[in-house]
Amino acid sequence: MRTDLFDFELPAGSIALRPASPRDSARMLVVQPGGVLRDQGVVDLPQWLRHGDRLVVNDTRVIPAQLSGRRIGRGAEAKIAATLIERLDGSRWRALVKPAKKLDEGDIVRFGSEGKVCLLGHLDAQVERRGADGAITLSFSFHGPALDQAIADLGAPPLPPYIASRRAPDERDAADYQTMFAAHEGAVAAPTAGLHFTPGLEQALYERGIGINRLTLHVGAGTFLPVKVEDTTAHRMHSEWGTIGRETADALNAARANGGRIVAVGTTSLRLLESAAAEDGTIRPFAGDTAIFITPGYRFRAVDILMTNFHLPRSTLFMLVSAFSGMDAMKQAYRHAIAGGYRFYSYGDACLLFHDKPAA
């Protein structure tokens, strides 16, 4: 499909720079089959679901993947900003860096600053490889838990570029950009639909007989990127690692067998569920990488309802929601949201999308 079919104009003032407080006070646009729109709030979520439905949340935890440093040992020192995007082993990460032209293979980048007590104040990494995709491989001077601690001490939350370009990250973001379900470290972007949940909302769902199950998908930086090719068939998705345990798979299959619906909280949960689903919709345990790319025409097998945020134009995520609820319905929903002052992107409001056709 042509990528420009998924384009739309978004006023800069629609981009949320802070989350709603409390989190479940965010607005929620319900998109029903046929494109019927209802203006609701996240706190209303339980009334749109039924006893026996199961929500599936992503319990990945965002690491402080934004590092600042400088190139040392070759000519004049150059300031370097790096965003870690994929762990390769105990001491190596793939990273996006700026300015990339300042680094060659073999260069040393020193992150942090002398003067801090912890780790002597800095962390060194050698540029091991430059990739064709613009990413580099960094080999760090620490390994395993020591490296994890160094990154935690010296790093900052990797805010999406559409927020970071308009304000600097601060201490609030360390908490704001983490869901209440966060447990397993590895993401460099938050599963943002989960940011809307509070203990009170969780309790209200349980009281209505709606269960919550967890999976893990470590969200990568590719989630921020618009599709730059003219046709979607030429786009290559970045792979992300995820896992669905036997207990979660069994609970979801049992719920559906009893007439319950599977509600994915976020496109990350949906993508992993669909990656793990058999042709008949049975969800299998899963552990590995997924690079699933969902565009209109995809037949959904595992997910009946999707709760998600409002997404970037020309992004794989807007393509996914267009596949789920229909392109015309989603363009109408986004026009309604923009006109109605809904807040967009990671810290913004939510959509609750019903699929026109039940999943397999």
What pLDDT score was predicted for residue 192?
A: 95
Measured between its terminal Cα atoms, the distance across the chain in Å is 24
Q: What is the CATH number of the domain that holds 263?
A: 3.40.1780.10
Letter for the amino acid at 133? D
Is 360 inside any structural domain? no
User: Same domain for 334 and 297?
Assistant: yes
User: Same domain for 234 and 191?
Assistant: yes
Residue 181 burial by Cβ neighbours in a 10 Å radius (0-12, 13-18, 19+)? buried
What are 237-267's pLDDT values in tens digits? 878 999 999 999 999 999 999 999 999 999 9
* Domain containing residue 145: 66-155
pLDDT mean by block of 10 residues, the chain; 360 residues: 90 95 98 95 98 98 92 90 89 91 93 57 90 86 92 87 85 93 93 97 98 96 73 82 97 97 98 97 97 94 98 93 95 97 97 79
Is 181 inside any structural domain? yes
In angstroms, the Cα distances linking 238 to 110, 197, 218, 221 are 28, 27, 12, 9
User: Same domain for 57 and 70?
Assistant: no
User: Same domain for 110 and 186?
Assistant: no
What pLDDT score was predicted for residue 134?
A: 74
Secondary structure string (H, E, C) spanning the chain: CEHHHHCCCCCHHHECCCCCCCHHHCEEEEEEHHHEEEEEEHHHHHHHCCCCCEEEEECEEECCCEEEEEEECCCCCEEEEEEEEEECCCCEEEEEEECHHHCCCCCEEEEECECECHHHHEEEEEEEEECCCCCEEEEECCCHHHHHHHHHHHCECCCCHHHHCCCCCCHHHHHHCCCCCCCEEEECCCCHHHHHCCHHHHHHHHHCCCEEEEEEECCCHHHHCECCCCEHHHCCCCCEEEEECHHHHHHHHHHHHCCCCEEEECHHHHHHHHHHECCCCCECCEEEEECCCCCCCCCCCCCCEEEEECCCCCEHHHHHHHHHHCHHHHHHHHHHHHHCCCCECCCCCEEEEECCCCCC
User: Same domain for 204 and 274?
Assistant: yes
The token pair at 289 is: 């990488």
User: Same domain for 221 and 183?
Assistant: yes
* Cis amide leading into 22 (omega within 30): yes
Residue 49 burial by Cβ neighbours in a 10 Å radius (0-12, 13-18, 19+)? buried
What pLDDT score was predicted for residue 118?
A: 47
Is 359 inside any structural domain? no
Q: What is the CATH number of the domain that holds 128?
A: 2.40.10.240
178 contacts 172 by C-beta, under 8 angstroms: no
User: Same domain for 178 and 319?
Assistant: yes
Is 160 inside any structural domain? no
User: Same domain for 181 and 271?
Assistant: yes
Is 325 inside any structural domain? yes
In angstroms, the Cα distances linking 270 to 15, 295, 355 are 24, 13, 12
User: Same domain for 200 and 328?
Assistant: yes
User: Same domain for 48 and 192?
Assistant: yes
The token pair at 85 is: 């995007």
Closest by CA position to 301, among listed 350, 266, 252: 252
pTM of the model: 0.90
What pLDDT score was predicted for residue 325?
A: 96
User: Same domain for 147 and 185?
Assistant: no
CB atoms closer than 10 angstroms to residue 231: 11
Is 164 inside any structural domain? no
> Which residues, 6+ apart, have CB-to-CB distance to 89 below 8 Å?
none
> Which residues, 6+ apart, have CB-to-CB distance to 175 below 8 Å?
none
Q: Which residues partner with 344 through β-bridges? A: 15
What are 187-228's pLDDT values in tens digits? 989 999 999 999 999 999 999 999 999 999 999 877 656 678
Give me the number of domains the chain comprises.
2
How far, in Å, CA of 123 to CA of 136, rounded?
A: 17
User: Same domain for 183 and 320?
Assistant: yes
